[in-house]
């Protein structure tokens, strides 16, 4: 997009934002220009919690569908907009509530732990939620020894390797993280031998085994800020590199692979945000009964 067009959309967004008492949230994986116009940048839960604590009347969530749902679960009195209807999450779509109910029937003794990357309906059907940052603590807090972990089989395997619980894994995966291979890490390490390797726990265990740390997006940001190291190989969606560079201008960042791009995260543009605010679209609506039960699973996690 040329600069004058970009400026026109930024101006429109600022104007509408004021008029509609709006807060704009951008996930760490969003395009740089979206992160730059957002009021807050972060992970999905952190953004949703912070937005809930504001007096904004409208939340524009620049992320994917389940993230906007999390904001709507925590802020029922606010209007939550997802600028692009098609911005879904392939991982979250790898489980339906009917499939989950069937698996629960087959495993009545298991506690259902659901990664926040899931629909409101799946959260509502689970005992407790977790994030990639607090998963170990959540699993260890449960009295049950059997854990039915949904929907991310890779995060599940990582948590199983860090706890003593017996896991039943779901077959879901994040295609962006799944495509990162150990060969990519080995190549990046050869090219940048001084660099620390930070990967997301949605990666395969073979990739995590080669990394210095497996961390959530906010975990990566915190680690880099505190680290004495000057170079980092980043094994998660490369949108995060914009924020890493901005917050650490004297450090260097290399994506572990050029394929670390989530197509859904890139659907949102400045033009889409301006249109979203102008037309108040696309509103996230969650039936109240589902919202309340999903909130219970999130609250149980927050209590841990």
Q: How far is the CB of 146 from ligand CIZ (least distance, A)?
A: 25
Smallest separation, CB 297 to ligand CIZ (Å): 15
> Among residues 166, 181, 185, 202, which one has the least CA distance to residue 256?
185
Nearer to ligand CIZ, 16 or 211 (CB): 211
* Cα–Cα distance for residue pair 247/166, rounded to 1 Å: 40
Find all residues with CB under 8 Å of 229, minimum gap 6, and list them: 194, 195, 196, 251
In our burial notation (b when 16+ CB lie closer than 10 A, e otherwise), range 275-290 reads: bbbeeeebebebeeeb
Q: How far is the CB of 11 from ligand CIZ (least distance, A)?
A: 29
Nearer to ligand CIZ, 157 or 271 (CB): 157
Residue numbers at the binding site for ligand CIZ (CB under 6 A): 27, 43-44, 116-117, 132, 216-218
Task: Quote the least distance from Cβ 108 to ligand CIZ, whole Å.
Answer: 29
* Rounded CA separation 8/173 (Å): 39
Give the whole-angstrom CA distance, residue 87 versus residue 61.
11
Q: Comparing C-alpha atoms, which of 57, 8, 61, 3 is closest to residue 268?
A: 61
> Judged by CB, which is closer to ligand CIZ: 16, or 43?
43
CB of 156 to ligand CIZ, least distance (A): 15
Q: Annotate 181-222 with DSSP letters as a single string.
A: -HHHHHHHHHH-TT-EEEE-TTS-HHHHTTSSEE--HHHHHH
Longest dimension (CA), the chain: 60
Cβ at position 109, least distance to ligand CIZ in Å:
28
- Torsion angles phi and psi, residue 150, rounded to 5: -130, 160
Backbone angles phi, psi at 102, to 5 degrees: -65, -45
Q: With respect to ligand CIZ, which residue has the nearer C-beta, 9 or 172?
A: 172
Nearer to ligand CIZ, 116 or 273 (CB): 116
Report, in Å, the least distance between residue 105 CB and ligand CIZ: 28
Comparison of 16 and 240: residue with beta carbon closer to ligand CIZ: 240
Our CB check for ligand CIZ shows the closer of 125 and 237 to be 237
């Amino acid at each position: 997009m040329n600069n004058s067009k970009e400026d026109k959309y930024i101006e429109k967004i600022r104007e509408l934002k004021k008029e509609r008492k709006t807060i704009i949230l951008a996930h760490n994986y969003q395009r740089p220009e979206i992160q730059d116009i957002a009021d807050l940048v972060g992970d999905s839960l952190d953004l949703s919690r912070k937005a809930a604590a504001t007096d904004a009347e409208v939340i524009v969530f620049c992320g994917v569908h389940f993230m906007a749902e999390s904001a709507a679960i925590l802020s029922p009195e606010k209007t939550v907009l997802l600028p692009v209807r098609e911005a879904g999450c392939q991982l979250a779509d790898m489980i339906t509530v009917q499939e989950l109910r069937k698996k629960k029937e087959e495993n009545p003794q298991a506690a259902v732990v659901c990664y926040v990357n899931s629909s409101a309906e799946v959260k509502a059907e689970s005992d407790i939620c977790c994030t990639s940052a607090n998963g170990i603590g959540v699993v260890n807090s449960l009295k049950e020894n059997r854990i039915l972990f949904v929907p991310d089989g890779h995060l599940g395997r990582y948590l199983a390797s860090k706890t003593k619980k017996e896991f039943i894994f779901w077959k879901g995966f994040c295609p962006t993280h799944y495509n990162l291979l150990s060969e990519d890490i080995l190549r990046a390490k050869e090219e940048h031998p001084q660099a620390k390797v930070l990967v997301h726990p949605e990666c395969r265990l073979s990739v995590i085994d080669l990394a210095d740390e497996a961390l959530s997006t906010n975990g990566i940001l915190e680690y880099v800020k505190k680290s004495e190291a000057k170079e980092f190989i980043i094994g998660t969606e490369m949108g995060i590199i914009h924020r890493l560079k901005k917050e650490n201008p004297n450090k260097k960042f290399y994506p572990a692979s050029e394929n670390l791009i989530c197509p859904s995260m890139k659907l949102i543009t400045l033009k889409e945000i301006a249109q979203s605010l102008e037309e108040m679209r696309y509103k996230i609506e969650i039936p109240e009964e589902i919202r309340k039960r999903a909130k219970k699973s999130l609250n149980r996690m927050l209590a841990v």
